[in-house]
Amino acid sequence: MSVPSGRHFLQIPGPTNVPDRILRAIERPTIDHRGPEFGRLGMRLLAGLKEVFKTASPVMIFPASGTGAWEAALVNTLSPGDRVLMFETGQFAALWQQLAGRLGLEVEMVPGDWRHGVDPQAVEARLREDREGRVKAVCIVHNETSTGVTTRVPEVRAAIDRSCHSALFFVDTISSLASIDYRHDEWQVDVTVAGSQKGLMLPPGLSFNAVSEKALAAAGAARLPRSYWDWEAMLTANATGYFPYTPATNLLFGLDAAIDMLLDEGLDQVFARHARHGEATRQAVRAWGLEILCSEPREFSNSLTAVLMPAGHDADDFRRSVLEHFDMSLGNGLGRLHGRVFRIGHLGAFNDLMLAGTLAGIEMGLAVAGVPHQRGGLQAAIDHLADGRLVQSQQGTMKSAAAV
Ligand X SMILES: *Cc1c(COP(=O)(O)O)cnc(C)c1O
For residue 90, report the phi and psi dihedrals to the nearest 5 degrees.
170, -165
In the complex, least distance from residue 14 CB atom to ligand X, rounded to whole angstroms: 5
Binding site for ligand X (CB under 6 A): 14, 65-67, 92, 141, 145, 172, 174-175, 195, 204
Between 37 and 296, whose beta carbon lies closer to ligand X? Answer: 296
What DSSP element (H or E) covers 236? helix 231-238
In the complex, least distance from residue 61 CB atom to ligand X, rounded to whole angstroms: 14
Q: Which of 142, 49, 92 is CA-nearest to residue 334?
A: 92
Between 92 and 208, whose beta carbon lies closer to ligand X? Answer: 92
Can you spell out the DSSP letters for 303-369?
A: SEEEEEPPTT--HHHHHHHHHHHH-EEEBPPPGGGTTTEEEEE--SS--HHHHHHHHHHHHHHHHHT
Between 141 and 224, whose beta carbon lies closer to ligand X? Answer: 141
Between 65 and 329, whose beta carbon lies closer to ligand X? Answer: 65
In the complex, least distance from residue 167 CB atom to ligand X, rounded to whole angstroms: 20
In the complex, least distance from residue 77 CB atom to ligand X, rounded to whole angstroms: 18
In the complex, least distance from residue 386 CB atom to ligand X, rounded to whole angstroms: 31
Q: Which residue is nearest to ligand X (CB)?
A: 66
- Could you tell me how far CA 335 lies from the centroid of its own chain? 18
What is the bridge-based pairing of β-strands 328-330 and 341-345?
unpaired
Listed in sequence order, the residues at least 6 apart from 194 whose beta carbon sits closer than 8 Å to its beta carbon are 53, 66, 69, 172, 173, 174, 177, 200, 207, 208, 210
Between 168 and 304, whose beta carbon lies closer to ligand X? Answer: 304
In the complex, least distance from residue 340 CB atom to ligand X, rounded to whole angstroms: 19
In the complex, least distance from residue 180 CB atom to ligand X, rounded to whole angstroms: 11
Between 64 and 369, whose beta carbon lies closer to ligand X? Answer: 64
Instruction: Specify the DSSP class assigned to residue 54.
Output: T
Query: Which amino acid is it at 276?
Result: R
Per DSSP, which regions of 96-199 are E strands?
Answer: 106-110, 135-141, 143-144, 149-150, 168-172, 191-195
Between 118 and 141, whose beta carbon lies closer to ligand X? Answer: 141
